[in-house]
Amino acid sequence: MDDSEDAFGHALKDYHLGKCSYEMVETKDGKIDVTSISYYFRDYDDWPAMEREAIRYAGGRIIDVGAGAGRHSLYLQNHGFDVTAFDVSPLAVEVMRDRGLKNVKLAGIDEIDGGWETMILLGNNFGLLRTIREAHEFLRRFYSESSEGAKIIAETTDPISAGFHAESGYPGELEIRITYERYRTGWFRYLLVDRVKLEEIVDGTGWHIESIFDMNGVDVYCFVLSK
């Protein structure tokens, strides 16, 4: 990743160094969302209840994909779990190591190792599976590469209740880019799914939906897939 495109990483590093920073997420249809980077540094007690419930399913060899500032990995490491954090941002990797994470890799969803027992895709990171078709294929691949009894702990947003629209196709198949100060990513695909679409994606992959966690009045929900 070119440094000029590492908008998320620069925002993380600036916040880590004490500066108030943000990320601006823009969709191709013009929807813009600005979020404080403090979200990615929250301690366990400040996590939403549904995240605290979902993380209880983690065990064995854990991989945290799109780990950002590493808040989930740090919590798991501090409680004695074997966890490796992955991110495509060089500066995110630098921040995680500086915060004390022992096992950190500069890699994305296409490059993760096999043999894991829990995959973490919290922080809306089910979106990293990009499209409905690719999500189905990713899940089939993850099923074959993971250990017996493996679980995927993930989070997504219901795009329909969140007000996303599409002239054609599914409204949760987005193209987005991230901006922070003078740094900006290129456009990339990102997936949000409602519960019915999640069931369709999971069907035929070998996984089953074990649990779903949500909160009243919130479009975001967490879920656990099990072998």
**pTM surpassing 0.95?**
yes
* Bridge pairing between strands 208-214 and 220-226: antiparallel
pLDDT at site 215: 87
> How many CB atoms are located within 10 Å of the residue 22 CB?
16
**pLDDT tens digit sequence for 34-74:** 999 999 999 999 999 999 999 999 999 999 999 999 999 99
Mean pLDDT of 9-32: 96
Summarised one tens digit per residue, pLDDT across range 99-113 is 999 999 999 999 998
Give tens-digit pLDDT for 66-88. 999 999 999 999 999 999 999 99
Beta-carbon contacts of residue 88 (< 8 Å; ≥ 6 apart): 1, 66, 106, 107, 108
83: phi then psi, degrees, rounded to nearest 5:
-130, 140
The pair of three-digit structure tokens given for residue 112, joined into one six-digit string: 């993760």
pLDDT at residue 168 greater than cutoff 80? no
- Which residue is listed with tokens 């996590």? 47
Q: Note whether 156 and 221 are within 8 A (CB).
A: yes
Burial of 210 (0-12, 13-18, 19+ CB in 10 A): middle
Q: Where are the alpha helices (DSSP H) in 19-131?
A: 49-55, 71-78, 90-98
The superfamily in CATH containing domain 3-226 is Vaccinia Virus protein VP39 (3.40.50.150)
Domain limits, the chain: 3-226
- 212's tokens: 């779903």
